[in-house]
Structure 1
Amino acid sequence: NHMISISGDRQLAIIAENANAMFAHLRELIGKIADAADQHSEGSQMISDSATSLSEGAQNQAANIETISASMEELAGSIEQVSGNAASCRSQAERTTKLALAGSQAVGDVIKSMQAIHNSSDQIRDIITIISEITSQTNLLALNAAIEAARAGEHGMGFAVVAEEVRKLANRTSEATASITQLINDSGARIQKGASLSELVGGSLESIVSAAEATAKEITAIATSSESQAVNAAQVKKSLRTVTDTIESMVQQFQL
């Protein structure tokens, strides 16, 4: 702020004026430099504060992404477990379907066998009917023979004995055929009941087969979806890892 004051010599006065002008310019320049330095200092501080804020934000973001990545990893593990369980259930459903199919076929074979037995029983019943008719005719012939033997008197005694034995045999045959007929009728009723039950079981097994097949398809769809979700989760995890690495690199640059 000092000014040069020279009196007397005109040339020295001019020099003093020039010097004073130069000093004024220097003061102005120094002031501008000081202002620029202050502004630079403030700008540097702002940049530093911004860098610090960005660094802290990046660190927080990286921490959040790490948390998300851990959650995605846990989710991927759960999806893999679901996929494994679905695959196991699918195998079990397939085995159940095969067993139900085998059971249905076995019931079908039983029904066919019962039907064959029923048909055989009908044939046996027809044969017994014929035997019963023959027995009735034999019994009638034995009765007629006994009447003729009685008419012959003593000469027909031997014939009468034979006729009596034939009659007894016919009676026993008639009783036996009646018992057999009753047994066949009872067996036929049981066979018919068993066939009806077998048909019901067969229908139930067919329903089980249909349900098992539908369940297997649904489980297959779940397993396929789980596998796809597991792949997607792995890709997301990989992408998050890339983002985290990038942010960590940025944080290191800010810290430098």
Structure 2
Amino acid sequence: MFNNKTIRAKLLIVSITLLLLPSLVIGTSAYFSSKKNLDTTGEKTLKNGVEMALQIIDALNQKVEDGSMTIEEAQEQARVYLIGPKKADGIREIKNTIDLGEHGYFNAFNEQGIDVVHYSDEGDNSWDVKDANGKLFVQEVIKKAQNGGGFTIYEWKLPSNPDKTGEKIVYSALDPNWGWVVAAGTYKMDFNAGANQVLVIVAATIAIATIIGIAVIIWFTNSLSKPLHLVTQHVNRLADGDLTVEPLHIKNKDEIGALANDFNVMAANMREIISTVEHSIQQVGDSSQNLSAISEETSASSQEIGSAIDEIASGTAKQAEDAELSNKKVAHLSTQIEMVKELNEKMTTQSQAANDASQSGLAQMTSLQIKSEEANELSHTVLEVMNRLSARVKEIESIMSVIHTISDQTNLLALNASIEAARAGEHGKGFAVVAEEVRKLAEQSSEATGDVRQTLTGIMNESEQALQAIEQSQLLSDEQTKAVSDTKYSFELIVDSIHEIISSINEVNQEVQVMATHKNEVLTSIEHIAAISQQSSASTEEITASMEEQLRAIATIAEAAEQLNEAGDELKQKISKLKIH
């Protein structure tokens, strides 16, 4: 966008920018520098005021310790010094001995947040008081005092306009004697009044300097832009072909004046050159027209002779080319026929080998199928045997249960016999011995029965596992048998396909033999035709070459004459647009 403006507009923009930019930078820097310095000075005033208040409290506390006054009297004097005496309505009149700004004053809290010194809220608890942003600033003031002193900034409503708030800054420190948190605070705007005056002065200075500078810049740009505008008008007329433009009269002694003088010299030189070129063009046009007419007559005669010879030569050359091309194609075809023949022989051999391999594979698959069926039958037999064995083991388990029951009953009978023998006394001792032996035999029979049952249980568990494994093996055997059957069927299809391929290859081989015989006969005929055509073409080419050389020379002359004539016409048209008289 800036590139489309005139030089006068560009000079105005750049000059005004260079005028305003430093003024704005200097004015802004001065305003912020003075504002910062005033803020620093105000903070020092608050801090010095608090330190002086602490010294006064310390001096009053010395009097309390000396006994010259009570602590209540000393604290009241401190309040009067920091703020002022209390009026009848309980509010103290602010009479600061230290200038803390228009709205600045002292106050003090104890460490629980109660106002021990305040112009209106003395005795109130301000611990939970919040500013406009919800900040518990009293707690922060006390905390910073306990940590050695510091500044607290918060938002508070303005005395002149309670609907608005402003930044307030407070410095606080802890008095070690009474435990007071002494604070001095005011609004930051009280510090910045001087900076605002600096801003007004700077703005006024920039405005006056800008008005004067713009006037000077406009005068300066006019002194440059008007001569340049006049030169631009003359250059545009010259660019449009008007060489009758009058000389420039510019009195500037700078580069613009030199540019005007150079323009006048250039316009005069161009008028002289164009007049000379116009005269030369007329002479060149006349000569080129004569040369062009002679060339056209000679070229017409030569072309009539050449066209007749060209027809003969093109026919002979075409015949020779066709014969040569046919010869090459037949020779190439011969090579391909031989290659096809060799490939057919290889395919026949490979097909026969594939057939033999397929037959062998089919025989092996048949044998594998028989073996797989035998293994499958054997798996069925083993499965039946394991099922019968499992049934026999279960029968044995039933018999062992009967034996175990008999053993328990025998043991019970032996116990009853022992009881009866004991009742019989001396007469039953022999019977008691027999009963004891029977009981022992019953216990041994029961233990043996338990061992046999445990063994049978293990045999049954292992039989179950073996039976499951055999069933799984049977499933795998069935799948294997099916896969072998499918593979055998695939081999049978492959064998059938190979038989068909061998039959087709034999038929192709017979046709290739016939093509090879016919190829040799065609190749011999084409070689004879090609030899005759080449002889005729060679004789015709010698005649044609001589005629073509002569035609090229005449055509070159005619073309040069035509180009010269066209160049003269074009130059004449361009010069006719220029005004030199």
> TM-score, normalised on structure 1?
0.73
Name which of 344, 355, 373 aligns with 1:72.
Answer: 344
CA contact (8 A) 1:97 1:209 kept: yes
Query: Structure 2 matches for 1:143-162, cutoff 5 A?
Result: 143-162=415-434
**Which structure shows the bigger proportion of residues in helix conformation?**
1
Give me the whole-angstrom Cα distance separating, in 2, the residues matched to 1:254 and 1:89: 53
Cα deviation, residue 248, structure 1: 3.5
Q: Deviations over 1:74-96 (max 9, x none)?
A: 12222222222222222232232
Name which of 101, 112, 134 aligns with 2:384.
Answer: 112
Q: Deviations over 1:137-161 (max 9, x none)?
A: 1111111111111111121111111
Name which of 476, 484, 501 aligns with 1:212.
Answer: 484
Instruction: Answer yes or no: is 1:233 the counterpart of 2:505.
Output: yes
Instruction: Answer yes or no: is 1:245 the counterpart of 2:511.
Output: no
The corresponding residue for 2:395 is: 123
**Which structure shows the bigger proportion of residues in strand conformation?**
2
Instruction: Answer yes or no: is 1:176 the counterpart of 2:176.
Output: no
Instruction: Answer yes or no: is 1:188 the counterpart of 2:460.
Output: yes
Give me the whole-angstrom Cα distance separating, in 2, the residues matched to 1:212 and 1:162: 72
CA contact (8 A) 1:114 1:191 kept: yes
Give me the whole-angstrom Cα distance separating, in 1, the residues matched to 2:468 and 2:329: 78
CA contact (8 A) 1:59 1:248 kept: no
CA contact (8 A) 1:100 1:205 kept: yes
Cα deviation, residue 59, structure 1: 5.2
Instruction: Answer yes or no: is 1:133 the counterpart of 2:405.
Output: yes
- Tell me, what secondary structure is at the counterpart of 2:516? helix
Give me the whole-angstrom Cα distance separating, in 2, the residues matched to 1:185 and 1:68: 78
Cα deviation, residue 245, structure 1: 2.7
Give me the whole-angstrom Cα distance separating, in 2, the residues matched to 1:161 and 1:245: 123
Cα deviation, residue 117, structure 1: 0.6
Q: Deviations over 1:145-184 (max 9, x none)?
A: 1111111112111111111111111111111111111111
The corresponding residue for 1:93 is: 365
Instruction: Answer yes or no: is 1:167 the counterpart of 2:167.
Output: no
Cα deviation, residue 243, structure 1: 2.3
Give me the whole-angstrom Cα distance separating, in 2, the residues matched to 1:60 and 1:186: 86
Structure 1, unmatched stretches of 5+, are 1-45
CA contact (8 A) 1:142 1:164 kept: yes
Structure 2, unmatched stretches of 5+, are 1-318, 529-581
CA contact (8 A) 1:97 1:213 kept: yes
- Tell me, what secondary structure is at the counterpart of 2:405? helix
Give me the whole-angstrom Cα distance separating, in 2, the residues matched to 1:102 and 1:156: 71
Question: Given residue 489 of structure 2, which amino acid in structure 1 is its aligned partner?
Answer: K
The corresponding residue for 2:8 is: none
> TM-score, normalised on structure 2?
0.34
The corresponding residue for 2:375 is: 103
